[in-house]
């Protein structure tokens, strides 16, 4: 890989990391650079089909880093200053969004694992959209399905998670 390609890829990873932090954690001690480096360490040496595939795998690694980070932060303080996040990145669609407190991201992670046991593709759609900030077209390319299939999976998964995560 050339330096220009690495710089471009690093920039995209930082965008994904910023999205993760802004939408799921938004904690002052978690920075995009740290998230990118942690994810890179976890996936270094793996083989990838394409740049998009690499970004999808990096997004999954970042999800794991964020979940581990939240576990570490909430282990010492149950309760406290929880933050609210949404499953839908677009605030204009807030009515259809699922909202979570910071501590509930761990519940979301467990629910995604449960959904993955029933339907891996739907869980991956949520993972790439919510944790990766990817567009429907990017997710469709990675999963090798149509955009409409991804949108249907997204709608189903949001509804399924909504029923699973609400008390």
pLDDT tens-place string over residues 19-66: 767 766 666 677 788 888 888 888 877 777 888 888 888 888 888 888
H helix count then E strand count, the chain: 7, 2
pLDDT tens per residue, range 128-161: 887 777 889 988 988 999 999 999 999 999 999 8
Q: With 70 as the cut, is the pLDDT of residue 95 above it?
A: no
Mean pLDDT of the chain: 77
Higher pLDDT, 126 or 83: 126
Nearest by Cα to 87 from 138, 151, 130: 130
């Amino acid at each position: 890989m050339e330096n220009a390609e690495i710089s471009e890829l690093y920039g995209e990873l930082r965008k994904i990391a910023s999205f993760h932090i802004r939408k799921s954690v938004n904690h002052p001690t978690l920075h995009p650079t740290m998230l990118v480096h942690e994810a890179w360490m976890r996936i270094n040496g793996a083989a990838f089909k394409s740049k998009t595939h690499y970004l999808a795998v990096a997004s999954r690694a970042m999800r794991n880093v964020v979940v581990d980070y939240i576990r570490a932060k909430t282990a010492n303080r149950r309760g406290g200053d929880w933050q609210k996040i949404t499953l839908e990145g677009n605030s204009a669609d807030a009515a259809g969004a699922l909202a979570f407190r910071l501590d509930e991201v761990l519940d979301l992670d467990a629910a995604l694992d449960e959904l993955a046991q029933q339907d891996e593709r739907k869980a991956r759609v949520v993972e790439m959209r919510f944790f990766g900030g990817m567009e429907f077209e990017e997710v469709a390319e990675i999963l090798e399905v149509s955009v409409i299939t991804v949108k249907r999976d997204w709608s189903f998964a949001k509804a399924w998670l909504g029923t699973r995560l609400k008390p």
